């Protein structure tokens, strides 16, 4: 069999390479062989959240998979035909649900199939977008590129036990190239959810953040919710949306420092899309017929890695140009016979 070999240690060398590689493999029907998976991590190899994504894709694409084990640093993934599915899954830990959805949603939607999924795990955990970011920022961006899904949060799940749950519906979608330019709106939405923490403590921190946003001439709409979870925790999302831009920033509450771990200046200074969203748009943009353009303040290792892996599998072209405010990225997608 003709496998496309991918070095899993390239760039940031984390789970992003696995997620992007298996996503595009399913859509394009290209068998892949990923080596050196997370070799530079303290705990190398596949982790539970990676396995959950791989095993769900195995089910929905009738794939053959070799090396799908915790700690495995090598994976062969041979996709088959994708089918409509109704699934119930459990990560079994506080592994990120949002990162798993980054894999599933494009595969199902771009392949013109349907998915109904109930999944348990972590909804708001470190090194991952929050479930609110997925619901309000990623969903808006995906809708503009043509990808359609609905998400319902039924329970929050924080580290260490997780226990969160969401319901997901993904619909057949026709993708298209898009262009983002400078933010025009000064309206911002702030959503905060907390569990087993004093309201006054959370409210005081939110007030500090709102003052900084107000001082920067933003108008802030605030929503604070006490949502019961197994473990204590809090997460916050700030986002602004207009016809030209989608910019979000999320953060978890650090109970030791009693601070939301957020670089607010990044949100204030951003002007087209945020750095995390830039990374998430690469895969669908690579499969569109046409050029997708956006600007961002910085080029993250995740974005560089995603551009590398995606172009290697799809042969899409991309360019990065320095501009006054940061960088402009142009991705010229392919016309693949597997993508209708």
- Picking from 135, 189, 141, 143, the residue whose alpha carbon sits closest to that of residue 164 is 135
Cis before 160? omega within 30: yes
| Residue 302 designated active-site | yes
Rounded to whole angstroms, the Cα distance separating 77 from 61 reads 11
Residue 120 and residue 87 in contact, taking contact as beta carbons nearer than 8 Å: no
**Residues for the chain: how many in total?**
340
Residue 308 and residue 10 in contact, taking contact as beta carbons nearer than 8 Å: yes
Q: Which two tokens stand for residue 300?
A: 């993250």
Given the structure tokens 């997370």, which residue do they identify? 38
Sequence-distant (≥ 6) Cβ neighbours of residue 198 within 8 angstroms = none
Known catalytic residues are 302
């Amino acid at each position: 069999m003709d496998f496309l070999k991918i070095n899993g240690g390239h760039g940031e060398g984390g789970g992003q390479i696995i997620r992007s590689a298996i996503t595009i493999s399913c859509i394009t029907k290209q068998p892949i062989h990923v080596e050196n998976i997370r070799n530079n991590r303290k705990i190398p190899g596949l982790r539970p959240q990676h396995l959950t994504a791989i095993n769900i894709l195995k089910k929905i694409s009738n794939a053959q998979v070799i090396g799908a084990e915790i700690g495995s640093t090598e994976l062969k993934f041979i996709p088959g035909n994708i089918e409509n599915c109704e699934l119930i899954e459990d990560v079994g830990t506080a592994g990120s649900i949002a990162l798993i959805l980054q894999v599933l949603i494009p595969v199902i939607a771009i392949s013109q199939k349907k998915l109904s999924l109930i999944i348990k795990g972590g909804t708001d955990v470190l090194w991952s977008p929050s479930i609110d970011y997925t619901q309000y920022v990623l969903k808006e961006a995906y809708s503009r590129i043509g990808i359609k899904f609905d998400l319902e949060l039924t329970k929050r799940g924080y580290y260490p036990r997780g226990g969160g749950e969401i319901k997901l519906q993904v619909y057949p979608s026709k993708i298209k190239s898009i262009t983002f330019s400078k933010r025009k709106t000064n309206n911002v939405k702030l959503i905060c959810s907390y569990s087993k923490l004093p309201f006054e403590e959370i409210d005081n921190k939110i007030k500090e953040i709102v003052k900084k946003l107000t001082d920067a001439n933003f108008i802030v709409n605030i929503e604070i919710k006490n949502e019961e979870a197994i473990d204590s925790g809090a997460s916050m999302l700030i986002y602004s949306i207009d016809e030209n831009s989608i910019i979000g920033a999320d953060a978890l509450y650090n109970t030791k420092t009693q601070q939301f771990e957020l670089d607010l200046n990044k949100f204030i200074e951003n002007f087209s899309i945020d750095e995390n969203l830039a990374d998430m748009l690469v895969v669908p943009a690579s499969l569109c017929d046409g050029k997708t353009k956006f600007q961002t303040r910085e080029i993250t290792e995740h974005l560089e890695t995603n551009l590398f892996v995606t172009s290697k599998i799809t042969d899409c072209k991309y360019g990065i140009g320095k501009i006054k405010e940061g960088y402009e990225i142009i991705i010229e997608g392919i016309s693949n016979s597997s993508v209708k």
